[in-house]
Chain A
Amino acid sequence: MACLVSYPVAHFVMMDIAGMPGGNAMVQLGQIIALACLPVLIVLCFSAYAALPGVCIAGCVAIIVGLLVS
């Protein structure tokens, strides 16, 4: 669950940065930042899952919406 939530979030971070003007350099910057975020997000999500299931469910819904919009 933690991975399923974290990976799309990291991917969205990367895509948002990559969408900024700057070409391939911004894609690289997005990948540098997203890769640093991904393990941290997984650990955070895993540790928060028990205490905050509502947040995680909301995150899942947001990701599905994001997928449909993109």
Chain B
Amino acid sequence: MRETLRTRMGWLHGWAGFLVGLLAVCIFMTGTLSVFDTEITRWMQPENQVPANAPLTGTALNAASSLIHEQQVHGASVFLTLPSARSPTIDVLHYDGRQFVGTLLDPRTGTPVPVRATMGGTFFFSFHYTLLEGTTGTRIVNIVGVILLVAIGSGIVIHIRALVPDIIRLRLSAARLRGWLDAHLLVGVLFLPFTIMIIYTGVLVNVGLILPATPLTDLFVHEKPQTIPASDTRAAPDIPLPLPPLAPLLATARNSLQGRDAGFILFSPDHLSIYASDASGPFLTRDHVDFHLPDGHLLGTTTTPGHIAHTMQVMHGLHYARFACLDLRWLYFVSGLCATAMIASGLVLFLMKRRSRSGHRIGFRVGESLTITTLTGLPVSILAFLWCNRLLPASMVGRDRMEVACFLGIWILCTGHASLCASGRCMNRAWGPQLRLIALLGGGLPVLDILACPRAVYNLPAIHAAIDGTGLLAAVIALSVRRRLEGDGK
């Protein structure tokens, strides 16, 4: 009976893991990069030379107020992001339908910082939870998360008796299949708590999309779009009220929020709301203080009381990790990489186990080409995205869209290459060139960075060393895997 259960769980673990693993690798890889999304944005905007912890002055806040009022007069719905330890500029932003864009201001002087147009790290963040497909993508990501939890649950049932020995067992010199299995078990068991936590809290962020608080029968009822009755009288557009000086309001808000720093300010026609910073603690709240416009008198403070609300806030805070210090952020990054490696090694194992029996089948070849597209094509595209940032002219119109187009274009090319190799039944020829490409782009990233933006590298050495170093690490891993593949081929 026990053997039957293990066999059944093995089937579930293998197929559920493989089918959602292809998407899960993309979600985990971009999510891992999103841990440093602000830093990646700074790397991708080398013109932004504002030092960290630059003091915020009243002059800069007044300049931001003037800019906001000017944009409100033109009908833009703007908000203001305040400087933080990770992002030192004052950002006056609005949503253009795809991303938040706007002007960056120096917090010392209030002068605009001219930077190149790029989606920066927010591209990876957006890809991570929407797959660039909006609400539908978020729903798919949530479903992938639940099925991944199922795969993990079935994996635990399979290995429950050997969980502790699996942590210390790694036989890279053993047979290839055994080595991959040991690596899969090692990272899987070692980072099991992190993996479960990050998937569970991630799904919980948008849980309403898969577990809506409406009866199931309502899901099948087609909602008719509400029609707005036509009216002859057209309301005159409101002229936005002038903003009061923001510095005293920030001091009042800080007191009202129990000493927490302010993160961003939203503006309404008759009031403005100062929100607590996400970095001020593990509780990811939307606590805010409202002020009347135009005189700026305090209207009140909104907080969310209750244990359940706090539990939800902690869940969100744990996933976003915006409260985390640099060390903890690196721990998230390494854990994310290992979770990605766990899923990636699972995909490879699934294919290796079935190669001798089903290698000739078209379904197998499609599966392997998709695996190559995911495991090597995605890193190639990410590195190409970073290369484009340096190679495209800084003043080029629509360069942010061009970067994204380049990312998608390179990924499609990698897919085409893997599919062509799969149709010729020579999969090693697909792995090899794409791994070489990762090595080339990753190894060349520091050189390109130093040649293209030497001043930025000199002024912000830590950020550039970390991102260029990650490129180098990708190159080393790709070369090492390729050497093992060649060794197996001989």
Contacts and interface: CB of A to CB of B under 8 A. Distances in A.
A39 B149 contact: yes
A31 B309 contact: no
Interface stretch (B201-209, B225-233, B379-387): B201-209
Interface in A1-43: 8, 10-11, 14-15, 18, 22, 25-32, 34-36, 38-40, 42-43
Contacts, number: 73
B51 interface: no
Contact of A35 (B157, B204, B217, B311): B204
A46 B8 contact: yes
Contact of B217 (A25, A28, A34, A70): A70
Contacts of A8: 216
Contacts of A40: 153
B213 A25 contact: no
A25 B150 CA distance: 27
Interface in B197-254: 200, 203-204, 207-208, 211, 213, 215-217
Interface residues of B, dominant DSSP = helix
A56 B13 CA distance: 21
B215 A35 contact: no
B308 A35 contact: no
B369 interface: no
B5 A43 contact: no
Given A26-B308, A43-B154, A43-B157, A31 B146 contact: no
Interface residues of A, dominant DSSP = helix
B200 to A, nearest CB: 7
A51 to B, nearest CB: 8
Centre residue among A38, A39, A70 by max chain B CB count within 10 A = A39
Centre residue among B12, B152, B308, B315 by max chain A CB count within 10 A = B308
B9 interface: yes
A27 B157 CA distance: 31
B150 A31 contact: no
A61 B146 CA distance: 24
A27 B213 contact: yes
Contacts of B146: 35, 38-39, 42
A34 B200 CA distance: 11
A60 to B, nearest CB: 14
Given A29-B308, A50-B8, A35 B213 contact: no
A34 to B, nearest CB: 6
A61 to B, nearest CB: 15
Nearest to B12: A46
Contact of A14 (B149, B203, B213): B213
B312 interface: yes
B211 A43 contact: no
A67 interface: yes
Nearest to A27: B213
Contacts of A26: 308
B356 interface: no
Nearest to B311: A32
Contact of B203 (A22, A25, A35): A35
Interface of A: 8, 10-11, 14-15, 18, 22, 25-32, 34-36, 38-40, 42-43, 46-47, 50, 67, 70
Given A8-B216, A70-B217, 15 more contacts: A14-B211, A25-B308, A25-B309, A27-B213, A28-B309, A28-B312, A31-B213, A32-B312, A35-B204, A39-B150, A39-B153, A43-B150, A43-B157, A46-B8, A67-B217
18 contacts: A11-B216, A15-B213, A15-B215, A25-B306, A25-B308, A25-B309, A28-B308, A32-B312, A35-B146, A35-B200, A35-B204, A39-B149, A40-B153, A42-B146, A46-B8, A46-B9, A46-B12, A47-B157
